Structures are given as structure tokens and as C-alpha cells.
A and B are shown apart, each in its own frame.
Chain A
């Protein structure tokens, strides 16, 4: 029997800090529902975050939770996972946290293929600090540090972590919350480094400056601009213009880092025993 989502929340820590209409809570909802469906025990799950609105997610969910420094959650999580291999380790990060200041750690954690699930809440902006552009802000968008529009191109994070070696890569949106939940569930069940990008709305830092006046406008934008990988395969170049892909990009097997490490350690211990 599925557990009710509220059982996974620290209800006494409400209200949360997010602005009305913020998409972060929708992404968190998908994470929690995925965990509930999979029936993980709360004690077995560790959720690690960095700094940002999206990193405040773990304060209100009833797991083992720690918030770290800006951009470094994956490195803390790597140390933790090696210390406690039996635990399910999840990292929730923002687009600034995960692709800017923490981008290098994301690349290397994906390369190691360590069994950590990363959820990157991509709202295309530095929300917590008031709407400065991030490495994932689309070129031309207005930000508090880009009055006439950003001049830099942005990353495609799914392509980036795929190239870095992640063995599960997917993208969903706050609008497609049910699909997102399913992608997260698959990521959680995957053995190796898994990465799910969740496109979310930040009405305060992004929407009001970029002609998306309400949170509903922003969710509609997600609906209108997302296209599933399957649909995209059949679409014409005109139909694909301005669209972004959602769905599963990578789902493959490769040696997982801690398995490799502990196997080597076992052999090293055996050798020492034999030498005695």
C-alpha cells in the first residue's frame, strides 16, 4: 500500500520559505511521491543539498538531511556515500548551485558513476539572491544583472552529464509532474550516478522580468515548449524550433564507483592477510 506523502514531511517545519507559485515545491513533491511509491524507509534515505531556494527543500522532509555549502553538495554526498554505502543518497541542487559554482563537482561525480541520485531544480535563475542570471538562463533573458538580456549561451545539463559519464539522465518539468515523478523513481532505482533535471518556475526572480506574469503563465510555457523524446523523433524541424526535450536520455549500465572501490579494498585486505 502506498504511503501518504505527508508522512514524509516535517509538517511542524511549515510554512516553507518559498514564494507563492514557486515551482520548487512541485519538484520536491515529485521526489517525495517517487520515494513513497518505492516504499523506501525514511531512515535509509539521506538528502543532501547546497545553498539556494531549491536547497531549502531538505529542511521540510523527514529523512536524514543535511544542507552544505554553495555548489558542494555532491562532494559532501560522495564522502557520505563512501562512508555509508548502504544508504540511499539523494542530492537536490539548483541551476546555480549545480551548474555554476558546483559544475565541476557535477562533472566529476558523473564521471565516477557513484550511486547518487541528483535532482537539479532548473528555474533558469539565481532565485535566492534575487534573480541574477545563471549558466542555465537562456540567452537574451532579463535578469537583475542583465538589464538588456544575458549575452551568454546556456548549458544543456543533460548533454553535459551524459558526456561526463552519468548512467541515468532524464529531464522533466513542474508542469509534467507525474512524468517527472516516474523519471525520478527510475533514477532512484538505478545503480550508478543518476541525474534528473526538473524545469521549474521562479515567478519572482525570472517570470516577472520575462513576460511570464503569473506562475500559471510559466507552467503554460513549460507545457508549450516541452516535447517528449518520442514525439520529437517524429516531428519536423519547424515543429521542433524553440522546443526542449523531456524524457529519458540515458539509461545504461557501467561499473559503479563504490562497487569498484570496495572490490579493490577487499583484495588489498586479502593480500595483507596472506602476507601475515
Chain B
């Protein structure tokens, strides 16, 4: 008999609960709608489990504190929305460079700037990928239901710990504030990953010497291993090597390779009613909800339409698109921005006989199933 708890839950509440399930013991943040519920819930719950909740003076210091706590050995997470996400960017790059695990939840709202507070949007897709400077790796997960918000938050913590890199959960005001029935996973049901720890003696320890998988094992300070962390280009020993071009090249390539090596684990997509589809809707986040209804509607009308739902946005899931590059005649990409991910879809399919159609909405309202159905009718 299953002991699973069933609850009516808000998306942001699911995110906070999932963080605790994944073993997060540190949160630092700064209030911003539509993300604030995550910090409100964790401000109550983290002290109850011996964890740390800090409300910092801004998002820059929140991100810094999260990384500092992770250097201290705790699984750490922060949550924000567009303007705050921008302020966190420099330190996200720091975490990528020094390989410190952390999770950043961005509950998207309409921008640029304070834009449409606090209506939904999907305008941070590229900021999530390229928001911090430099050629860095990143993992971005995107839920479309409250349950996915839960499981992807657990996955985000796992991926961050496994890869020693920042991972972003890119939700939106719709999924963040939506209330849905959730069957909560039991303890032990979802896999929990902890960062790999070193097995070598202090005298042989090199903090940035990676294993085969490209990830260097971690060790806590205060345990006999004294080492240095610098955001400058650094050698395996962790010390600045800013005049060494060869080290600069191999370090950055390794940072990317460690993510690419785990592509099959990290890249999560769902294919729904695609077996015979001539038209494929490629959707993510709240828009995938409308796309699902649109596919059902179109099927009723006898149109062969399917849905690819991207749960991982970065690394971009090109493999699933290429799978349908011969079968499908059309791919429609609905998104609440002016085509941030459609550009990637077009790039993936540029040499294929598939026509990519964009469907964009930027007025703070959701793309409706009717809009998608009418786009389907137009393309076929």
C-alpha cells in the first residue's frame, strides 16, 4: 500500500518542499513576486530541520551567501524573478568557474526591467543560458506542472551536486502560482545525489583534478585539507594560472565536457502523441499546458499533431527534434517571448525538410490552446 501523501499544492510550495526533500539545508534570498512564496515557506521550514534561512540585503549577496554555504558543504538554493536573476548573474558565473554546486530558481515574469509585474512570461530563456559573462556551461530545467516543479527541483539539486555546477530551475508566474493536486513522492522514492567526496590523502589532494567524468571530487574545509579557490583561471592545485594559455583552454573545455558527457541523463523531454505526427508542437513551461490541450483538440479534428515537451532547455535538446526531422513536416514553437528558443529549433532543423513556425505572445497573457490550434490549421 502506498503511503504517498496527496496535497493540493501551489507550484512555488512544491518547489520549496522539493528543496527540502533533496536535502537543501541553506537558502538565501531577497523578496520578489512571483517567487517570494518559496522563501516564505523555507523561512519557516529550514530552521525546523536545522538548516539556514537568510534574507539578505539584495540578490547579489543572496547568491554570494548561497555559494559561500555550498563551499561550507551545504546543499544550497536561492529563488528570484527577472530583475533579481539579473543581479545574481556575476556570482552564477563564479560558481560555474570554481565548480561550486548551487540551484537558482527563476520564476519568470514579463520584462525587460520591472516590465509586467507580475504577469507571466518566458523571457529569461536566454538570460538563463547566457546571462553571466564568459563561455560557461549551465543546466536549465523548466517545469510545466506543479508536480514537475517538484521533481525538477529535486533533479536540479542532484545535477548541481553531481556536476559541481550551477543549475537553474526556470519556472514562470503561471506554474509558480498554480494550485494542482500533487501525489508527493515518499522518502527514498526519488533518487538523491550528494557531491562526490575525495578519497585521497591531504598531501596528494588537488582540488581541481577531475576524475574521468570531468568532475573533481570535493572536500570540506576544516578537515585537514587546506586549499585555495579562485575565480581566476587556475591550475589543478586551485591557484591562479592567468598566464597559462594551455591551462585556460583545458579548464574551460573540461567545464563544458563534464556537462556534455552527462547529456543523456540531463536532457529530459517528453514525446506525446508524436508517433504519426505531421505537425509537432515544441513547447515548454506554462505554454506546454496550452500545447497539450491544443494537441488533444487537433486530434479530435483528425489532424496528426503531437507534442514535444522540453523539461530541459539547456543543454538544448536537439536530439529529440532530429528524431522527427524526416517524419514531421511542421514544427510549431509557441513561447511567451519573441522566439528565444525557436532560434535554437531553427538552427537544429536548418538542413531538414521541416518548416518551423513561431507563435509568440508578449503581452503578459498565456498563449491559448485556440491560438495554437489555429496556427496548426494555418500551416497544414
- A interface with B by C-beta (< 8 Å): 13, 42-44, 46, 48, 58-59, 62-69, 72, 74-84, 86-87, 104-105, 107-108, 261, 264-265, 268-269, 271-272
Contact = CB atoms under 8 A, between A and B. Distances in A.
B61 to A, nearest CB: 4
Contact of B231 (A44, A64, A68): A68
Contacts of B226: 42-43, 62-65
B68 A43 contact: no
Interface of B: 25-26, 28, 47-50, 52, 54, 56-58, 60-62, 64-74, 76, 90-91, 94, 98, 220-224, 226-232, 239-240
Contacts of B239: 13, 59
5 tightest CB-CB pairs across the interface, nearest first?
A83-B72, A79-B68, A79-B65, A75-B64, A75-B61
B224 to A, nearest CB: 6
Contacts of B224: 43
Contacts of B25: 83
Which of B25, B26, B64, B232 has most chain A Cβ within 10 Å? B64
A79 B222 contact: no
Contacts of A48: 68
B180 to A, nearest CB: 27
Contacts of B71: 66, 76, 79-80, 83
Which of B61, B70, B90 has most chain A Cβ within 10 Å? B61
Nearest to A275: B48
Given A43-B221, A66-B98, A84-B73, 8 more contacts: A42-B226, A72-B60, A72-B91, A80-B68, A80-B71, A84-B72, A108-B57, A264-B47
Given A43-B223, A72-B60, A83-B26, A269 B228 contact: no
Contacts of B54: 78-79, 82
A28 to B, nearest CB: 15
Q: Say whether chain A's binding surface is mostly helix, strand, loop, or mixed.
A: helix
A84 B52 CA distance: 11
A219 B225 CA distance: 38
A79 B91 CA distance: 13
A34 to B, nearest CB: 18
Contact of B90 (A43, A69, A80): A69
Nearest to B67: A76
Contacts of B240: 59
Which of A63, A69, A74 has most chain B Cβ within 10 Å? A69
B73 A79 contact: no
Given A43-B224, A79-B64, A83-B52, A65 B69 contact: no
A82 B26 contact: yes
Contacts of A272: 48
Contacts of A43: 221-224, 226
Nearest to A47: B228
B47 A265 contact: yes
Given A82-B54, A83-B73, A76 B47 contact: no
B57 to A, nearest CB: 4
Contacts of B57: 104-105, 107-108
Contacts of A76: 64-65, 67-68, 71
Contacts of B230: 59, 66-67
Contacts, number: 138
A68 B52 CA distance: 21
A82 to B, nearest CB: 4
Nearest to A105: B61
12 contacts: A42-B226, A72-B64, A75-B61, A76-B64, A77-B68, A79-B28, A79-B71, A81-B68, A83-B69, A83-B72, A105-B57, A261-B52
A79 B228 contact: no
Contacts of B228: 58-59, 65-67
B221 A64 contact: yes
Contacts of B70: 79, 83
A87 B47 CA distance: 20
Contacts of A265: 47-48, 50
A64 B60 CA distance: 23
Contacts of A42: 226
Contacts of A78: 54, 56, 61, 64-65, 68
A46 B221 contact: yes
B251 to A, nearest CB: 16
Given A80-B69, A108-B61, A64 B222 contact: yes
A171 B48 CA distance: 41
A59 B240 CA distance: 8
A269 B67 contact: no
Nearest to A42: B226
B222 A87 contact: yes
B269 to A, nearest CB: 34
Contacts of B28: 79
B222 A75 contact: no
Given A67-B230, A69-B231, A261-B52, A104 B68 contact: no
Contacts of A87: 221-222
Contacts of A67: 228-232
A42 B228 CA distance: 13
Contacts of A59: 228, 230, 239-240
